[in-house]
Structure formats: C-alpha cells, structure tokens
C-alpha cells in the first residue's frame, strides 16, 4: 500500500491514506480525481475525467471491484463506504451522435454513502442515488433512486421490500 500511495499521491488531486489501486486499465485526468482514505480500487479499473471535466470524487473507504469504469465530463461524486462490485459502469459523459469521437455532457452523478451497486450495473448521467440504496446486478439506472431504496431491472425500478406496502 505504501508504494501505491507514493506513486499516486502526487499525480492525483488527492490520494488518501491507506488507499490502493491494483493494476488499473486506464487512468486519465488524474489531476481532477480525488480519492479518499482507505479506498480499494481493484484490477482493471478505468478512471477517466475528460479534458475540461470533472471532478471525480471518491469518499473514504470506497470499494471498486474489478473492471469498474468511471467516466466523467460532468462531476461524479461517490460517497463514503460505497461498494461498486465488478464491471459497474458510471458515466457522466456520452459520445456525440454526429461525431462519435466527441464527448458530450449527460449531467452530474451523485452516489450517496453506504450504497451497494451490483455486478455490471450501469449508472447514467444526471442521476442521484440516495444514501444506503441498493442497485441490483445488471440494472440500468436512468433516474434518481431514493435513500434506502432497492432497484433492479432495465430500466431500474423499485423492488418492494418485505414489510413495506
């Protein structure tokens, strides 16, 4: 961990104590990426902030599973203790329709504290996910998710919980 911190603390906007990145696939725009303390970023991570975009902010103790892809032109904020498992895509940018090489804004993304995002879920721009929410595996989140809510499906919809009406 010490080596990871020494390698990254000067490149990133912030790189918190005890955080580690294991063999990332892509790191772009790192001067606009803020990583809190105690974060675990696993192999194959793709963290990209487009020119003129960002920031991309990870709170403390954020877990990014293997092959998580975070793409920011608009701001992306991930709260403390959020848990994004393998293959999750969070995108506050899109490719232009006329020129596929151009990148367009899709709206900021805010993921609250203690959120769990299941395998290969997709979080699209302009979305806020409230604290303690759960996103099911393979869900595509196109609109806001309330705090503590459980959503799943394509597009993601609330899942009734036992004991709720």
Q: Tell me the pLDDT tens digit for each residue of 81-100.
A: 999 999 999 999 988 778 87
pTM, 2 dp: 0.92
Helix (H) or strand (E) holding 94, with range, is strand 89-95
Summarize the chain as % helix, strand, coil (round to 5): 5, 35, 60
Task: Give SS3 for 95.
Answer: strand
Two tokens at 106?
A: 């899709």
Task: Give SS3 for 1.
Answer: coil
Are 44 and 21 in contact by the 8 Å Cβ rule? The answer is no
- Whether 8 is catalytic: no
Q: How many CB atoms lie within 10 A of CB 11?
A: 11
Positive or negative, the Cα torsion across 43, 47, 150, 16?
A: positive
Count of positions (residues) in the chain: 165
Residues 74, 54: Cα–Cα separation, whole Å: 5
Q: How many CB atoms lie within 10 A of CB 137?
A: 14
Residue 164: pLDDT band (50, 70, 90) is low
pLDDT of residue 11: 86
- 38-81 confidence digits (pLDDT tens): 999 999 999 999 999 999 999 999 999 999 999 999 999 999 99
Two tokens at 16?
A: 């918190």
What would the mean pLDDT of 102-107 be, rounded to a whole number? 88
As a whole number, the mean pLDDT across the chain is: 92
Catalytic residue among 34, 71, 95, 138: 95
Are 108 and 78 in contact by the 8 Å Cβ rule? The answer is no
Residue 2: pLDDT band (50, 70, 90) is very low
Rounded-to-10 torsion of CA 111, 27, 139, 94: 90
């Amino acid at each position: 961990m010490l080596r990871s911190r020494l390698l990254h603390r000067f490149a990133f906007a912030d790189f918190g104590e005890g955080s580690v990145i294991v063999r990332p696939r892509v790191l772009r725009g790192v001067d606009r990426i803020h990583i809190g303390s105690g974060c675990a970023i696993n192999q194959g991570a793709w963290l990209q902030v487009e020119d003129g975009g960002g920031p991309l902010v990870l709170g403390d103790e954020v877990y990014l599973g293997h092959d998580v892809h975070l793409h920011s032109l608009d701001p992306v904020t991930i709260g403390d203790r959020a848990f994004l498992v393998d293959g999750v895509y969070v995108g506050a940018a899109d490719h232009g329709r006329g020129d596929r090489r151009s990148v367009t804004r899709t709206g900021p993304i805010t993921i609250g504290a203690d959120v769990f995002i299941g395998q290969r879920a997709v979080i699209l721009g302009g979305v806020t996910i409230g604290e303690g929410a759960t996103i099911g595996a393979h869900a595509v989140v196109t609109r806001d998710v309330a705090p503590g809510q459980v959503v799943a499906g394509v597009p993601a919809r609330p899942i009734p919980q036992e004991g709720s009406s």
